[in-house]
Amino acid sequence: MAENLQLKVSIDSNSGFCFGVVYAIDLAEEYLDEYGKLYCLGDIVHNDEEVARLKKKGLVTISQDEFRELKNERVLIRAHGEPPETYKTALQNNIELVDASCPVVLKLQHRVKEAFDGQGEEQPVYIYGKHGHAEVKGLLGQTNGNAIVFQDIAELDDKVLPPRITLFSQTTKDTRNLYAIRDKLKARGVEVDFNDTICRQVSSRDEQLQVYVKNFDKIVFVSGTLSSNGKVLYGVCKANNPNSYFISSVEELNRDWFGPGDTVGICGATSTPLWLMEKVKEALEGI
């Protein structure tokens, strides 16, 4: 049996669920405790381990197609928010919505709708966000599908841009990228009505991680592979400590990453549960 590496392991106190995810999960558990079953429109959080935990408690994840066929049931709207069409369907099908939309996302939806209703075709709405992401679908719905979504400025390189646009961002995108996009659009002669709509709880983690990861020999970043925020924050870790490793579950840990007595920092996305990071810590201490 291999000798224990005696790793010195710490968990980043700033990592783990953001308040929007905490609210959604608390609300789900409250209803599950009372009724034993609750439908959820899409994964409640982009973390397979947490989804599996709540599934055992009675949370049933459904697709949009399944939602449209559902009647007389109770359905959770997760923190990412939903487009207006979802609320219309719920009314038609006598569905009770348990709305856990994040307040930051709801505020952004309102701002996108206001901009679209106020300016329309004269000043199109552009959204910097991931194609097909749940939050982005909700934002797009505020414009009846007419906003332009792009996840990389290169997507706009061969496009003829209007003289003036309104620019928003998905709440979990990288702040520096957003400002760089604004500057590139201005350099192309576009007048940009700029809105920094990145969640500060998310963006502040960027700055905190830059400092945190430099204190350790190795970093283990724990996140679901579908988490946009996870991809951004892992990039921050890797840029500031090249010895950073991405895992989604304890089983993905590799002893070969570590040396005897290494200091190891564990951090995660806004969708990473604390209990999972604690499991990773326990496993590392046993290596």
Residue range 25-70, pLDDT digits in tens: 999 999 999 999 999 999 999 999 999 999 999 999 999 999 999 9
Q: How far is CA 240 from CA 77, 131, 198, 214, in A?
A: 36, 28, 22, 7
Q: Considering the chain, what is the average pLDDT of its residues?
A: 95
Extents of the domains making up the chain: 8-16+201-285, 19-101, 104-198
Is position 96 annotated as part of the catalytic site?
Answer: no
* CATH annotation of 104-198: 3.40.1010.20
Question: Percent of the chain beyond pLDDT 90?
Answer: 91
Asked whether this chain's domains 8-16+201-285 and 104-198 adopt the same fold, the reply is yes
Active-site choice (3, 29, 135, 207): 135
Task: Give residues with Cβ within 8 angstroms of 226, minimum separation 6.
Answer: 43, 46
pLDDT tens for residues 74-125?
999 999 999 999 999 999 999 999 999 999 999 999 999 999 999 867 899 9
Instruction: Identify the pLDDT of residue 2.
Output: 78
Q: At residue 1, does pLDDT exceed 70?
A: no
Fold classification of 8-16+201-285 (topology level): Cobalt-precorrin-4 Transmethylase; domain 1 (3.40.1010)
Beta strands (DSSP E) in 123-268 are 125-128, 148-150, 164-169, 191-194, 218-222, 244-247, 263-268
Instruction: Identify the pLDDT of residue 119.
Output: 82
Distance between CA 115 and CA 109 in Å, rounded? 10
Distance between CA 40 and CA 48 in Å, rounded? 14
The radius of gyration of the chain's CA atoms, rounded to the nearest angstrom, is 21
Q: At residue 17, does pLDDT exceed 80?
A: yes
Instruction: Identify the pLDDT of residue 95.
Output: 98
Question: Percent of the chain beyond pLDDT 70?
Answer: 99
User: By C-alpha distance, which of 251, 249, 257 is closest to 225?
Assistant: 249
pLDDT tens for residues 156-189?
998 999 999 999 999 989 888 999 999 999 999 9
pLDDT tens for residues 218-242?
999 999 998 988 998 999 999 999 9
Task: Give residues with Cβ within 8 angstroms of 60, minimum separation 6.
Answer: 37, 38, 39, 40
281 and 9 Cβ atoms separated by less than 8 Å: yes
Specify whether domain 19-101 bears CATH 1.10.3470.10.
no
